[in-house]
Amino acid sequence: MMTRKSFLCGAAAFAAVRPWRVFAATGAARPITLDIAGATPDLRFGVVSDVHVREAAGLYGTEALVKAFTWFRDQGADGVVIAGDMADHGLVSQLQCVADAWNKVFPDNRGLDGRPVEKLFIYGNHDIEGFRYSKLTPPPDALIATDRAAAWERAFGEPYAPIWKKTVRGYTFIGAHWDGWKGVPSIEPYLKEHAADLRGDRPFFYIQHPHPKGTCHGDWAWGQDDGFATRALLPFPNAIAFSGHSHHPLVDERAIWQGAFTSIGTASLRYIDPVYGRENAGPSALDDLRQMALVDRFSGKEGLLVSVYSGRVVVRRRDIVNDGDLGPDWVIPLPATEPKPFDFAARGASAVPPEFPAGAKVVVRGPFDGKDRKGRAVRQIEVSFPAATARDGRPRAYDYEVAAEVEESGARRIARSKRVYSPTYFLTPAREAGTVRCVFSLDELGTRKAKWLNPKVRFRVRAAESFGNAGRALASDPVAL
């Protein structure tokens, strides 16, 4: 299955506890979340991205989108953000499927209690050029790109502007539609023009498809812009940006970044793309990472629920289809404070590493005759160990480091070190698989064939959090090769 990439080849330091959730219905069953002090939010909105709709039903249908809209409605959302990539192939008919899903849940742009709910949508690259990625040749009148404004106005019944500005319950939202792979060059003059309205302690929310360069997910993020948005937002410490495009999951604590402003990655409602460089998460171009199957990216579909209070913004991370939270809420203090609770350097330096449960053991199977991800026959050895889940104030593991220590004639050396994800690392903690595997080929260990060397291998495994801090190592028994 072709994706755009194949084509293009925890919690904060700010001490916060999830508010105690008390649901008080107003009107037709509109639940309001109250915090410990009994406060209701001044504003609440849902956020999804990278919906990638192709038709009304099926793998690329609107079921997950309808479920997300419904959940946001039932949480009392005043608006919903879609941070781009609505129509997977960039077809007008696919954009209409998104509009139909919206109208099904929010007829006349209203919730069940009759309150208005605002569409806060933008185009992404797939909306404009997705037909090219699958090498489709639809007629011009079927393409959004032929007339972006006409397609938008027909689907959503509102005027189109390359950059729009809306006010929801007194808070400003600015959305910038896809303007090419470098980003949106016109956003800096636009924000300068509106600076007087935007400055102050009250947050405003900015939406574009690619991550602003050097912000959420740092240098690891795929498809960042060229820095236009980052430069434009530097004068606004009250700005909170939302972006998609990378599909990187919300269990990654680097999905929220704070510097001169705040930037939040929004994952995907269609499929998750893990950060590469892991044995079970990498494109075919990384031929040295090929010994085991990739994680099932389609099993998790993620979104955010953002609640704005007078002294804080609470960001709730949600696995939409599996009905569960992905981790502790991110709580952003208002007005912007120093030090920033979501500063990468500070969080990386203070992060508590995960640890394995008491009595955990590393089990080694093999060597055996296996096949790599390309179906080639190879001698392999498998390492398995229990997942490091959240416990005793320590976070759930983000990934694992597995080092193969080879001993020959009494001399030891690290032959190969890999990182690997749990197959369910991006799902809710309740859906953690429990056992993690990592596979090596014997060729990767570089052992010599002479039996008199008596080659053996021992594996050492450490669990790491998103910033790379790892806990104590578990060691296997030595295995003869």
Q: Assess if residue 214 is contained within a domain.
A: yes
Question: Looking at residue 374, what is its pLDDT?
Answer: 86
Would you state the pLDDT for residue 451? 62
324 exposure class (CB count in 10 Å sphere: 0-12, 13-18, 19+)? middle
Q: Are residues 304 and 263 in the same domain?
A: yes
pLDDT of residue 286: 61
DSSP assignment string, 413-432: EEEEEEEE--TTTTS-GGG-
Q: Is residue 357 part of a domain?
A: no
Can you give the pLDDT at residue 328? 95
Q: How far apart are CA 449 and CA 142, in angstroms?
A: 62
CA distance 321 to 326: 12
- Distance in angstroms (rounded) separating the CA atoms of residues 275 and 282: 8
What's the pLDDT score for residue 287? 63
Q: Quick check: is 452 in a domain?
A: yes
**Domain range enclosing 436:** 363-480
Domain C-terminal end among 295, 323, 350: 350
Same domain, 267 and 342: yes
Given this model, what pLDDT does residue 231 score? 98
Q: Is residue 384 one of the residues assigned to a domain?
A: yes
Segment holding 442, helix H or strand E: helix 442-445
Total of domains in the chain: 2
Residue type at 80? V
**Of the candidates 274, 393, 275, 265, the residue with the CA atom closest to the CA atom of residue 328:** 393
pLDDT < 70: residue spans in the chain: 1-38, 283-288, 447-452
pLDDT at 110: 97
At 144, which CATH number?
A: 3.60.21.10
What pLDDT, on the 0 to 100 scale, is given for residue 6? 34
How high is the pLDDT of residue 447?
Answer: 65
Residues 6+ apart with CB under 8 A from 376: none
Q: Are residues 16 and 107 in the same domain?
A: yes
42-54 pLDDT tens trace: 999 999 999 999 9
Is 355 a domain residue? Answer: no
55 in a structural domain: yes
Residues 87 and 228 in one domain: yes
pLDDT at 17: 32
Of 298, 324, 350, the residue that ends a domain is: 350
